[in-house]
Amino acid sequence: MPFATPMGGYVDRPGPSTGTLDPLELNVVTWSAGERRLALAVADVVCVNDDLAQRAREIAGCDLWLAATHTHAGPETGCVPGGGPTPHPWLDRIAEAVGSAVREAAKAESPCDGTAHRGELHGVGGDRTDPAATPVVPLDVLAFRTDGRLTGVVVVLPIHPTVLPAVNRLVSADIPGATRTALHARLGPDVWVIVATGTAGDISTRYTRRGQDPDELSRLATLVADRCIGLLGEAPHGSWTSGDRLRLASRRLHLRREHVVVDGAALGADYARTPGDRLARSRLEGLRARTGATTPIFAEVNAARLGSLRLAALPGEPFLATGRSIDAVVLGYVNGYPGYLPTADAYRRIEYEVLASQVAPGSAEALAHTARTLLEEL
């Protein structure tokens, strides 16, 4: 990422990038069966818009799930609620990098078996609108083995990568990158590691972090990595073999635009009374994030089955409860950015995510229903 590049994720960033804390990555794993191939590409960017997903798919020449880690310390890639165009040079640069990485991954394919492991992760992420909520999230680890030897892992971590603050101007993959580093240290250089972000729309480290610096990134990533290692030693909840058939399905939905009606003056007065209240400030930020766009919002839902492994990919920023309602390993931030996708219940509380959302209540449930239907049909 070049020096002095506009950074994404925070509306109040004080300026462009000034250096690099840790390098951004694009990682790809492919599954193939006969002439069918699925590539999961995970990029350290804040979002993947429709145009980028489509361009990358055309270049890759296969079924592609292009996921953003949603790091808030990477380049601005057009992360606008409801979706928008990907700015120059990232549309071409990322799409071409994806195509190259997919081709390399396909050439390196070899027969492998795999297991899926799931458990709870405590003390790292929790509901960022509820200080009293228990900080626990589900953690998924996919293990890839060749001749019984562990060769790679995919971690799905449903936590907002916002450990580093808005004032940070150093490029970083935030907690996905720190987790990769911590796992590499434990698994060794011969085991590849991919860390994707799950359904993290309402989950962050806001009430678990002790700071917002590299040391805190390392501390939290150590907790994640240690839990991953523990899960690898436990019984799997799913598995696949090199001989299993790969089954894929996708569906594109039209989501209705709608803004919650709210008294902006009242929110401003509330913040004026409690200027140190993080939630009061975030509500005003939610109002600022609204757009007057009227273009249709489309959302692509993807599903895959391989052996007893069930995978689902949702666009934008689904809430954790949406992922939990789907019996699968669920990724967020994939193949499009409709913005925040609150649950219908969340619309009863006027918080940042609901205020910034561009879609009507029920949209998240429609996506989850579609994912469940696709998985049942496979």
DSSP string computed for 255-310: EPB------HHHHHHHHHH-TT-HHHHHHHHHHHH-----S-EEEEEEEEEETTEE
35 falls in which pLDDT band (50, 70, 90)?
confident
Q: How far is CA 118 from the centre of its chain?
A: 17
d(CA 289, CA 312) in angstroms, rounded, equals 28
Residue whose entry in the numeric block shows the structure tokens 């599903």: 303
Averaged pLDDT for residues 22-27: 97
Supply the pLDDT for residue 319.
98
pLDDT score for 300: 98
- The three-class DSSP label of residue 222 is helix
Say if residue 2's pLDDT is above 90: no
Residues in contact with 308: Cβ distance below 8 Å, sequence separation at least 6, in sequence order: 116, 238, 239, 240
Supply 331's token pair: 């990724």
**In Å, what is the CA distance from 183 to each residue of 132, 159, 175, 213?**
30, 17, 12, 20
Q: Tell me the per-residue pLDDT of 82-133, one tens digit each, with 9 for 90 and over.
A: 889 999 999 999 999 999 999 999 999 999 999 999 999 999 999 999 999 9
Q: What is the pLDDT of residues 194-220, one digit of tens each?
A: 999 999 999 999 999 999 999 999 999
pLDDT in tens, 293-348: 888 899 999 999 999 999 999 999 999 999 999 999 999 999 999 999 999 999 99
Tell me the average pLDDT across 19-48: 95
Residue 141 has pLDDT above 80, yes or no: yes
Q: Are 324 and 138 in contact (CB under 8 A)?
A: yes
Q: Which of 104-108, 160-164, 354-358 has the lowest mean pLDDT?
A: 354-358
pLDDT tens-digit profile of 229-243?
A: 999 999 999 999 999
**pTM of whole model > 0.85?**
yes
Mean pLDDT for all residues in the chain: 94
pLDDT at 333: 98
- DSSP H helices in 115-257: 174-187, 214-232
**Minimal CA–CA distance to 183: which of 130, 234, 242, 143?**
143
Contact (CB, 8 A) for 299 and 367? yes
Token pair of 260, please?
């919650």
Specify the pLDDT at position 273.
81
Residues 136, 336: Cα–Cα separation, whole Å: 27
Backbone angles phi, psi at 206, to 5 degrees: -50, -40
Say if residue 6 is preceded by a cis peptide, omega within 30 of 0.
no
Per the CB < 8 A criterion, the answer to whether 102 and 28 are in contact is yes
Residue 128 DSSP class: T
pLDDT, one tens digit per residue, over 40-93 is 999 999 999 999 999 999 999 999 999 999 999 999 999 998 889 999 999 999
How many secondary structure helices (H) and strands (E) does the chain include?
9, 18
CA gap 13, 22 in Å, rounded? 19
